[in-house]
Structure formats: structure tokens, C-alpha cells
Amino acid sequence: MTSDRNALRTFWGIVALLFTASVVVTIVWCVSMSAMQEMPMPGGWSMSMTWMPMYGQSLFNATASFLAMWDVMMLAMMIPCLVPMLLRYRQAVQTTSTRRLGWLTILVGLGYFFVWTIVGLAVFPLGVGLNAILMQYKELSLIVPLAVGIVVLAVGLLQLTDWKLHQLTCCRELPFRGQTAPDNARTAWKHGLHLGVQCTRCSAGLMSILLVMGMMNLFGMAIVTLAITFERLAPASKWVTGTIGAIGIAAAFFLIAQAVGIF
């Protein structure tokens, strides 16, 4: 019993350390990125340096730098909703070795964030390519503010669908709820991958808002993190997703009105 309590304290200590470190590094990165001069674009918006490799930087180095930033940001944003799933896994694993339980928990976490790394690997070339197109065809940049509003509107409407509610339900009812989990690394890794895939599906809409509004926007990051965590942990799923959707729709109408010059 004492060893179990010590193992749980160690778990919470590691989680707190990772979360604190990732938040601090994310803030430092965001501040440093905001200090860099953004490129003003037609349409009244500015292009972030996030999607623009530094002069003389190879594509490999630019991708590696982005993934490092992306992974740290994902740690800061996703740890709050990942912890309950890790605790559920720890309760389900039938093992007498607290050290082995710790390593299996780490393996689940690595599998989860591996999926988010793959997502980042797909996002970066899309962002770089889109910004290259906007720089080459400046007339397209005129519609970016309107396009951002439309994306936010689409996400708000998505929050009201049965598909979104189904994805959220799947996140809450992932394997091992009230069941036992095999004590082996293969199952832990696969479980982490499964958690990651389901989480990316459930969070895709809200993460899209962050990407179009500005990935290194600390305020936007905090809002999206709160929304993802709240809808994942709050008991009334349909009410929560609907409320977030309504807020998103209202914000979208404001952005669209601003883009077309009503405000």
C-alpha cells in the first residue's frame, strides 16, 4: 500500500514537472516569436514567422525546430486531459511492480504524443506551402480574414453535430474503463497510440481555430486548451460541446463582420 502511494506521488510529481516546464518553454517561445517582426499582408493581417524558415536554414532543420516547438506546445495543452486517461490505465494494469507500472505509463504517454508529432509533421508543410502561395499571390491574402471567420464558423457548427458528440464519447469510454489491462509494453504502446488518434479526432476542430488564428498566440492557446480540457472532463457532454459551439459561432460572426467591414 505504501509503495502504491509513493508510486502515485511520483506520477503526480513527474506530471507537474512536465506540465510546468512545457508551459514555461511555450511562453518563452511565444514571447520570442512575437518579438520577431511579422510580415504585413494585404487584407490587414500579418504573416507569422512560424511558417517561414530562417534564411539559410535547411528544410530538415526548419521542420525539426517546428516539431520541437509543436511537441512542447502539445505537452502544455494536452497534459490536463491526458492525466485522467493515464490514471485509468494505471488502475487497470495488473502488475505487482510499481517500477514496471511507471515505465508502462511512460510508454502510453510516448505513444500518445507520437501521434501528435505525426500531426505536427503534416501541419508544418501545409502551413509553409499555404503561406508561400499567399506571398506569391498577394490578392489571395485579401480574403484571409474572411476565410479565418469561415473556419471558426465551421468549427462552431461542427461542435453541434452528433459526430463531435460521438468522438467525445469515444474519448471518455476508451479501453480499460472498469477492465484489466495486460502487463506488457506492446499493449501500453498501442493504447497510447489509440488515445492519441482518438484525441486528435476529437480536438481537430478546436486545434484548427488555433492554427488559423495564430499558433503562437498565447491567449488563443489558453482558450483552446481550456475548451478541450473542459469538454473532455465536464460531465454534461452535449451541453458543453453545444456551449463551446455557440461561443465559436458568435466569434465567427464577429470575425466575418469585421472582415467585410461592418465593424
Q: What is the pLDDT of residues 14-36, one digit of tens each?
A: 999 999 999 999 998 888 776 56
Query: Is the pLDDT score of 4 beyond 80?
Result: no
Percent of the chain with pLDDT over 70: 88
Query: Which one has a higher pLDDT value, 97 or 162?
Result: 162
The three-state DSSP-derived secondary structure of the chain is CHHHHHHHHHHHHHHHHHHHHHHHHHHHHHHHHHHCCCEEECCCEEECHHHCCCCCCCHHHHHHHHHHHHHHHHHHHHHHHHHHHHHHHHHHECCCCHHHHHHHHHHHHHHHHHHHHHHHHHHHHHHHHHHHHHHHCHHHHHHHHHHHHHHHHHHHHHCCCHHHHHHHHHHHCCCCCCCCECCCHHHHHHHHHHHHHHHHHHHHHHHHHHHHHCCCCHHHHHHHHHHHHHHHHCCCHHHHHHHHHHHHHHHHHHHHHHHCCCC
Query: Is the pLDDT score of 250 beyond 90?
Result: yes
Taking residues 33-62, report their average pLDDT. Answer: 71
pLDDT confidence of residue 176? 59
pTM exceeds 0.85 for this model: yes
pLDDT confidence of residue 43? 66
128 close to 79: Cβ distance less than 8 angstroms: no
Query: Is the pLDDT score of 109 beyond 90?
Result: yes
Q: What mean pLDDT is reported for the chain?
A: 86
pLDDT digit string, tens, across residues 61-85: 888 989 999 999 999 999 999 999 9
Taking residues 85-99, report their average pLDDT. Answer: 79
pLDDT digit string, tens, across residues 207-229: 999 988 877 788 889 999 999 99
The candidate with the shortest Cα–Cα distance to 201, out of 236, 235, 161, 234, is 161
Number of domains composing the chain: 1
**Domain limits for position 165:** 2-259
Query: Is the pLDDT score of 200 beyond 70?
Result: yes
113 close to 196: Cβ distance less than 8 angstroms: yes
pLDDT confidence of residue 22? 95
Query: Is the pLDDT score of 233 beyond 70?
Result: yes
Percent of the chain with pLDDT over 90: 46
Taking residues 95-102, report their average pLDDT. Answer: 75
The answer to which of 123-127, 173-177, 229-233, 241-245 has the lowest mean pLDDT is: 173-177
pLDDT digit string, tens, across residues 123-164: 999 988 888 888 888 778 888 889 999 999 999 999 999 999
- Rounded-to-integer distance, Cα 110 and Cα 146, Å: 38
120 close to 70: Cβ distance less than 8 angstroms: yes
pLDDT confidence of residue 218? 86
pLDDT confidence of residue 244? 93
pLDDT confidence of residue 88? 87
